Structure formats: C-alpha cells, structure tokens
Amino acid sequence: MTSNNDKPTAIMKATLQRMPLYYNYLIDRAKDGDIYASSTSIAQSLRLTPIQVRKDLACVSQNSGKPRMGFEIITLLKDIEIILGYNNVDNAVLVGVGRLGRALLSYSGFNGYGLNIVAGFDIDEDLIGIKINGKPIMPIYKFSQLVKSLNINIGIITVSSGAAQSVCNLMVSAGIKAIWNFAPIHINIPNNVILKNENLAASLASLSKELADTF
C-alpha cells in the first residue's frame, strides 16, 4: 500500500463492469439534488442487491458511507471517475468513415470521458478533405505520419470485415497500442497491443436471445 487510504489496485472484473451503471445512476441522483444514495436505493434501481452494491462501492470508495444515510454522491462519483479513468485524457484516430465511422466522429459524448477522436481516415477520395464535427478526414497513406506526429495510442476500426485485418496491421505498424474494433471478425494482433472487440450485431443478438429465453 503506497498510501494510507489507497484501495487495492486490483478490483474484481465483475465489479468494474458494473461501475458505469453506478456512475450513470449517481449522475441522475445528483441531478435530482440528492446528497446521499444508499445501497438499498441503488440496488433497487439497478436490479442488484444491497449487499452486492455495498461490496462494489467498498472497493472503490475512499470514504465510508454513513449508516442510515448512504454514500455521499459527489464524493462517490469522483472515486468512480478515477477508477474508470474518466479524468484521463486520450486521443484516438478512426479508420473507415462510413456510417458508423461518421456517427462516432460526430458523437460529442466522448469528451465527457476525456476522449477525443482527432481525425478519420478513409480510402474514398470523395471524403478526403472534408470535416466531420470539426475533425478532418484524411487519406490512409497519411495514417502513420499523423499517428506518430501526435503520438496517438488508440485506433478505432470501422471498416468492413474484409478490410479490418489489414487496417489493424497498418495501425500496429504505425505504433497504435490499443485497438477498438467494430468489425465482426477475428483479428490477429501482436502481444503488445490491446484489442477490444465491439460487435454491435452480436450485442443485439444477445438481447434477442435473452428475450426469447425469457418469454
């Protein structure tokens, strides 16, 4: 322990996955003007159990909750932001300026998490030179140059499945260290690169399946 009130650095994976749910709920409560939120009320709204919520929040909260009152919302939000890295600042680039690519470039919500997609890249010459949400669309051959000059570590793949692996290879060779991949195919990456697959169709399919299994 490097500090008297530091929490262990290793938080349970399942707990970490629930943090965004707590975060959004607490933002909601703060907007309602509430000062405290109890594990009972949080659990009720998020369909969890108070025991679960208390355990999770104990992992991330630097302060104790108050018996009978609950946790101080503002303080807890700050603790969660630290755990989730929302105060870190990071830039990313995106390859594949189709509909999804444009949606992501246009989305201003990333800023609230300290993230900024600075440019998009595409092979379609008709797109080169335009700006989407103030972000320039550049040709693929300038990818490495920009990534290196701005020291960007995160790449987003929004090309079609057939092109995803080669885009990944381009990103890796340019020095990208973390890839957010939307193409629903398996991508090979070297060991020193982090890959997060985001398969929207599989997400919807899992909801459909859950619906089928429930009703």
Task: Tokens for 116, please give them.
Answer: 């900024």
Amino acid at residue number 101: G
Query: CB neighbours (10 Å) of residue 21?
Result: 16
| Residues engaged in binding a copy of itself (CB under 8 A) | 16, 20-21, 24-25, 27-28, 45-46, 84-86, 88, 90, 92, 98-100, 102-104, 106-107, 109-110, 112-115, 153-154, 156, 177-178, 180, 184-186, 188, 194, 196-212, 214-215
Q: In whole angstroms, what is the distance from residue 151 CA to residue 153 CA?
A: 6
Residue carrying the six token digits 């990313």: 92
Asked if 12 interacts with DNA (CB under 7 A), we say yes
Q: Which residue in 29, 54, 102, 135 binds DNA (CB under 7 A)?
A: 54
CB of 48 to DNA, least distance (A): 7
Q: Which does 180 bind (CB under 5 to 8 A by kind): a copy of itself, DNA, none?
A: a copy of itself
For residue 188, the minimal CB distance to DNA (Å) is 18
- Kindly indicate which of the ranges 11-19, 115-123, 127-135, 138-146 contains the residues binding DNA, using the contact rule CB under 7 A: 11-19
Identify what 205 binds: DNA, a copy of itself, none; CB under 5 to 8 Å per kind: a copy of itself
Burial class (CB in 10 A: 0-12, 13-18, 19+), 16: middle
DSSP character string of 4-49: TTPPPS---HHHHHHHHHHHHHHHHHHHTT-SEE-HHHHHHHHT--
Alpha helices by DSSP H, the chain: 13-31, 39-46, 50-60, 73-84, 99-106, 143-150, 161-174, 200-214
Task: Report the residue from 7, 15, 23, 25 that binds DNA according to the rule CB under 7 A.
Answer: 15
| Interface positions, 71-90, toward DNA (CB under 7 A) | 71
Stretch that binds DNA, among 20-28, 53-61, 83-91, 183-191 (CB under 7 A): 53-61
